[in-house]
Amino acid sequence: MAVHEGVHGIGESIKRVEDARFIRGKGTYVDDIVLPGMLHMFLLRSPVAHARLVSINADAALALPGVVAVVTGKDLEAHNLAWMPTLSGDTQAVLATDKVRFQGQEVAAVIAESPYVAQDALELIEVEYDPLPVLVDPARSLEAGAPVIRDDKEDQSSNHVYHWESGDKDATERAFAQADVVVNLRTHYPRSHPAPMETCGIVADVNPATGKATLYMTSQAPHAHRTLFAIVAGLPEQNIRIKTPDIGGGFGNKVPIYPGYVVATAASLLIGRPVKWVESRQENLISTGFARDYHMQGELALNRDGKMLGLRVKLLSDQGAFYADAQPSKFRAGLFHIVTGSYDLPAAHVVADGAYTNKAPGGVAYRCSFRVTEASYLIERLVQTAAYELGIDPADLRLKNFIQPEQFPYRSATGFEYDSGDYPAAMNLALEKVSYRDLRREQEEMRAQGRLIGIGLASFTEVVGAGHGKDYDIAGIKMFDSAELRVHPTGKAILKIGVQTQGQGHETTFAQIVASELGIPSEDVLVQYGDTDNVPYGLGTYASRSTPTAGAATSVISRKLRAKAKKIAAHLLETSEEDIEWETGRFFVRGAPDRAVTIQDTAFAAYTNMPDGMEAGLEGVHYYDPPNMTFPFGTYAVVVEIDRGTGEWKVLRMVAVDDCGVRINPMIVEGQIHGGLTEGFATAAMQQIAFDEDGNCLGANFTDYLIPTAWETPDFETFATVTPSPHHPIGAKGVGESATVGSPAAYVNAVIDALAHAGVRNIDMPVTSAKVWEALSQAGLAE
Amino acid sequence: MEITVTVNGAQQTADVEPRTLLVHFIRETLRLTGTHVGCDTTSCGACTVLLDGTPIKSCTMLAVQANGRSVTTVEGLVTNGSLHPLQEGFKEEHGLQCGFCTPGMMLVSAALLEDNPDPTESDVRWAISGNMCRCTGYQNIVKAVLWAAEKGRTESADASQAS
């Protein structure tokens, strides 16, 4: 789309509107909200991973001056609130009644006049636990005779959660029977945590006179949360207002409803005063929204000349104690079946099973469109493994098997219809920018000098932007999204969107869409979101869906208003509508370009001088149900050097080519990619939520759960190709997660590539220097 | 106990519990909420403020330890209605997304530029390595600090020419 001069529309890297408050420290996050009479809530959590709850004695806590209430599971049971539904149709304890099932599970809540008093009171609550055997390995959970973690469920006699299959089993078997070569990869995509800088929290304010509940929440999906609150708590939906203040990062962590939100709301309802709950970092890491934790076994069948024939995958997912994956309800392993990736794979079959363990629930889509990250990692690692086995360069093997540009729309073996792509173009640009062929020669030379250089590639394809509503829903609610545009008489406008922002810059980019579509300068468009009383219904922001869904809705409603404005223009110019031409910002009479009115003129006339019979105003709302998902793609190329003395690996270069279709604000797109490449690096190099055999969480704070600082983070070289989505009104695809999805394999492939000549084929993430050192030692490469 | 702290140039006197953390004194007592809490372990730097010009993590210091001393928070970066070059730089170079780490990042960078008006990229990366960001990947934060350094140097050159 052409850049339209003067209106700061699509394609311009304008500076962000939201920065004005953040750079002054004037953002308002949940913890910044203070209401008159507000109380403070803290949660008591289980120190053990699996135990019967024998007794809770809160007498001493209640006696402490300043303590207003102590809430236990028994109290909630009386209101039918001790359990709540998860986003995957399971149940989750709000406060434990029968057992605790993971370390950090919510056991009781203290509500007090001050946060310090509430924390003092936590230490005065006496809880007796009767320990039970602990399960931390999902394979052991599924063994016969394993203790049943979910004995609260009548129909549950084992720890098996779900079984799910995708693709064609028979066709895949036939493909494997014909293969010359089958390569295997067994790997664990480790349990991780999104860990946004702001933890989760709520200020629940239930007005005792009206019953109106105003919930200031860290929510990535305010409307969906409102509906779930209505269902869980039995509150009338019109009496629930969810408001998201500024949100300090989400990355999937703020998609689920957590027990703390429910207890704080119940406490405010029962006490009649506002209640604030903000979790600590430790609580955030041990109890909310883990991600990944997939044990994957992949097999790729190929001809001797490198043509891929079939893909077979077996998954075991570690679900923790409650199955709480945030994903469309028809898909038990999310959209993992995008696992055929960028390749023309005629046959594929995926078998997935889930197991309960004594770990925190979650399964959130951490900067990822529902398990796409795990899928992309597996195929990109398998392709690299195949390249070594066949003696074909990993770049050449990819180029040989890519879905070709003329094959789009492309139906994958697992049933996706890819909208558009030019994979060779992205790959070739990345190879050129990193000087791939020269690098391969240098790698040989360096190796001769005893230095270990590795070059890793990943050519990912994502599937993002859910719905369409026919196949995709969250807890039954179809995954459309919305935009309401009101153009005021003076030609300024307000846009209200059903999606949410937690740092993506929607206040800037959504105004740019209006600017290009309607010709109103983006600085004249105020963008609002995150207030369920005041913006139209939407499913929220995750799975890179804002631009594909609400972005499209914004475009469509702008065009609808433009069509009305055109009628007004004809009226003002005293000619027929057919004679009116449009260029950004103005209507003119065909053949007489000086006879023109601006969009602002038509806006004023919409309230002051509309044609006879026309409804007043220039306002409208559109709910957009996308016809398909969008499929962003790209190629990442990473160069690393391994220190043979320590096993440390350093990224020498990271070249990223992303194709997310049309870029609304290239500066913001690049920022998203930088962030994703960093979280991909974190996943590859250091992040892991691990447990000991007693179920103690070993990643409970930022000294143990490592996230990269500026010092470790590589420098990124970013490039673009642009292949518009054919079904999106402005051709955009979404970009928030591409780099987290695509880059982990590129980093790991680079490390393996440095060691491949010595026979090393896999190191599970996080690829720590200790693991690399072990591989070096075994390969006889250590110094 | 009663303490007096000079915060952003103004003397503030308050009666605090001895165990009150400095960050809570800033956020709750003074209601300066630009200073954030992101962890419990002095790891993330969201609570960074300047204490007598030196960056410290205010979640790991008691308010009483700041008695008689001078604290600068993000709210104190604006002088005479003008943005600090760092504030401009963060906007110009897209050095922030969700904004939660931004105040701490700017304050630790302000201390760097005070000591070293012409830092290298590596100097900047080292200086901000006690502060975590999950959104930006740091690259644009580094560019923002270098932008501010450049602007600061130009301004002081202009000022010395004018005098």
| A45, A191, A368, A687: the active-site residue | A368
Domain extents in chain A? 19-26+481-624, 33-132+198-248+254-287, 377-464+629-778
The answer for residues whose C-beta is within 8 angstroms of residue A739's C-beta and 6 or more apart is A636, A656, A658, A672, A673, A674, A675, A676, A677, A679, A680
CB atoms within 10 A of CB B48: 30
Interchain proximity B94–A502, CB inside 8 Å: no
Q: What is the largest CA-CA distance in chain A?
A: 87
Asked if residue A22 lies in contact with residue B99, where contact means CB atoms within 8 angstroms, the answer is yes
Interchain proximity A703–B141, CB inside 8 Å: no
Nearest residue of A to residue B89, measured between CA atoms: A23
- What pLDDT, on a 0 to 100 scale, did the predictor assign at position B160? 83
For residue range A625-656, what is the model confidence (pLDDT) as tens digits? Answer: 999 999 999 999 999 999 999 999 999 999 99
Instruction: Give me the mean pLDDT over the A160-181 stretch.
Output: 98
Question: In this complex, which of A195, A668, A711 lies closest to B125 when CB atoms are compared?
Answer: A711
Nearest residue of A to residue B92, measured between CA atoms: A15
Helix (H) or strand (E) holding A270: helix A259-271
Write the Ramachandran bin of A45: left for phi over 0, alpha for psi from -120 to 50, otherwise beta: beta
d(CA A592, CA A589): 5
Between A319-323, A367-371, A559-563, B116-120, the lowest mean confidence (pLDDT) is in A367-371
Task: Indicate whether A674 pLDDT > 60.
Answer: yes
SS3 annotation, A359-420: CCCECCCCCCCCCHHHHHHHHHHHHHHHHHHHCCCHHHHHHHHECCHHHCCEECCCCCEECC
Instruction: Give me the mean pLDDT over the B94-121 stretch.
Output: 98
Interface check for B102 against chain A (CB to CB < 8 A): the answer is yes
Domain extents in chain B? 2-74, 85-155
Asked if residue A680 lies in contact with residue A674, where contact means CB atoms within 8 angstroms, the answer is no
Structure-block tokens of residue A76: 């909630």
For residue range A719-735, what is the model confidence (pLDDT) as tens digits? Answer: 999 999 999 999 999 99
Contacts of A253 in chain B (CB under 8 A): none
Instruction: Give me the mean pLDDT over the A224-240 stretch.
Output: 92
A33-132+198-248+254-287: CATH architecture: Alpha-Beta Complex (3.90)
- Domains B2-74 and B85-155 equal at CATH topology level: no
The answer for residues whose C-beta is within 8 angstroms of residue A251's C-beta and 6 or more apart is A194, A195, A196, A366, A367, A502, A679, B134
Q: Mean pLDDT score of chain A, rounded to an integer?
A: 97
Measured CA angle at A328 (ends A322, A331), to 5 deg: 80
For residue range A241-257, what is the model confidence (pLDDT) as tens digits? Answer: 999 999 999 999 999 99
Task: Indicate whether A1 pLDDT > 60.
Answer: no
Instruction: Give me the mean pLDDT over the A369-391 stretch.
Output: 97
Among B79, B100, B120, B129, pick the best mutation site for testing chain A contact (most A Cβ within 10 A): B100
d(CA A201, CA A218): 6
Q: What is the DSSP string of A456-512?
A: EEEEEE--BS---TTT-EETTEE--EEEEEEE-TTS-EEEEESS--SSS-HHHHHHH
* Interface pTM, i.e. ipTM: 0.98
Instruction: Give me the mean pLDDT over the A405-428 stretch.
Output: 98
Nearest residue of B to residue A196, measured between CA atoms: B134
CA distance B9 to chain A (A): 16
Helix (H) or strand (E) holding A311: strand A308-320
The answer for residues whose C-beta is within 8 angstroms of residue A505's C-beta and 6 or more apart is A16, A18, A665, A668, A671, B97
- What pLDDT, on a 0 to 100 scale, did the predictor assign at position A673? 98
For the sheet with A618-624, list strands across it: A525-528, A493-497, A481-487, A618-624
Question: In this complex, which of A16, A24, A671 lies closest to B136 when CB atoms are compared?
Answer: A671
Task: Indicate whether A4 pLDDT > 60.
Answer: no
Residue burial A461-498, b: 16+ Cβ < 10 Å; e: rest: bbbbbbbbbeebbbbebbbbbbbbbbbbeebbbbbbbb
A377-464+629-778: CATH architecture: 2-Layer Sandwich (3.30)
| A367, A381, A545, A653: the active-site residue | A367
Residue burial A709-731, b: 16+ Cβ < 10 Å; e: rest: bbebbbebebbbbebbbebbbbb
Scan residues 209-248 of A and list those with Cβ closer than 8 Å to B: 246-248
Asked if residue A198 lies in contact with residue B44, where contact means CB atoms within 8 angstroms, the answer is no
Task: Indicate whether A591 pLDDT > 50.
Answer: yes
Partnered with residue B54 across adjacent β-strands are B51
For residue range A506-538, what is the model confidence (pLDDT) as tens digits? Answer: 999 999 999 999 999 999 999 999 999 999 999
Among A197, A282, A285, A704, pick the best mutation site for testing chain B contact (most B Cβ within 10 A): A197
Q: Provide the residue type at A730 as one letter.
A: I
Task: Indicate whether A3 pLDDT > 50.
Answer: no
CATH of region B85-155: 1.10.150.120
For residue range A314-344, what is the model confidence (pLDDT) as tens digits? Answer: 999 999 999 999 899 999 999 999 999 999 9
d(CA B37, CA A198): 8
- Domains A33-132+198-248+254-287 and A377-464+629-778 equal at CATH topology level: no
CB atoms within 10 A of CB A119: 14
- What pLDDT, on a 0 to 100 scale, did the predictor assign at position B163? 66
- What pLDDT, on a 0 to 100 scale, did the predictor assign at position B158? 87
Interface check for B79 against chain A (CB to CB < 8 A): the answer is no
A19-26+481-624: CATH architecture: 2-Layer Sandwich (3.30)
Residue A5: pLDDT band (50, 70, 90) is low
Question: In this complex, which of B33, B97, B102 lies closest to A675 when CB atoms are compared?
Answer: B97
- What pLDDT, on a 0 to 100 scale, did the predictor assign at position A2? 42
Helix (H) or strand (E) holding A156: none
DSSP label of B71: E
Contacts of B50 in chain A (CB under 8 A): none
| CATH label, B2-74, candidates 3.30.450.20, 3.30.565.10, 3.30.70.270, 3.10.20.30 | 3.10.20.30
CA-derived radius of gyration, chain B: 16
Residue B162: pLDDT band (50, 70, 90) is confident
Task: Indicate whether B16 pLDDT > 50.
Answer: yes
